[in-house]
Amino acid sequence: MADSLYERLGGSEGINRIASDALDNHLANPRIKSRYEHLDNLEAVRKGAANFFISATGGPDVYEGKNMIETHKGMNIDEAEFMAVVDDILDSLDKNSIAQREQEEVLFALYSLRREIVGV
């Protein structure tokens, strides 16, 4: 059987790096940085985002946060913000030398979550 996406993204170590770089991108992205820069639990969000990815890609079941609807409910997130987050994550995959095939799988997984995040 083919390796899980989790393994092909570099396991927990690789995904922690990717998620952390993505959050750094968000903090530098004028379209969305105001969503994150004031958070007093930023390091917990960094860890939570990595754990969500680890669990969602076939790694160990380490995510203990709320589901995506509950997490983003009432934030009034629009399509442009959603695209900005996706772009930041694709950029962090590039930075971490993740190949096109894996990038496509991540993109599909992210896009599938759109209805649980935009306008909920």
- Write out the residues near ligand HEM by the rule CB under 6 A: 32, 35-36, 39, 41, 45, 48-49, 52, 65-66, 71-72, 77, 81-82, 85, 110, 113, 117
State how far the Cα of 92 lies from the Cα of 33, in Å rounded to an integer: 16
Least gap, CB of 49 to ligand HEM (angstroms) = 5
State how far the Cα of 33 lies from the Cα of 21, in Å rounded to an integer: 14
The alpha carbon torsion through 9, 70, 28, 11 (nearest 10 deg) reads -10
Least gap, CB of 73 to ligand HEM (angstroms) = 10
Sequence-distant (6+) residues with CB within 8 A of 93 are 18, 102, 103, 106
Tokens 């989790």 map to which residue?
6
Comparing every residue's Cβ against ligand HEM, the nearest one is 48
CB closer to ligand HEM, 1 vs 85: 85
Whether 72 has a binding-site annotation, put simply, is yes
CB closer to ligand HEM, 8 vs 35: 35
CB closer to ligand HEM, 4 vs 67: 67
DSSP designation for 63: -
Annotated binding site: 72
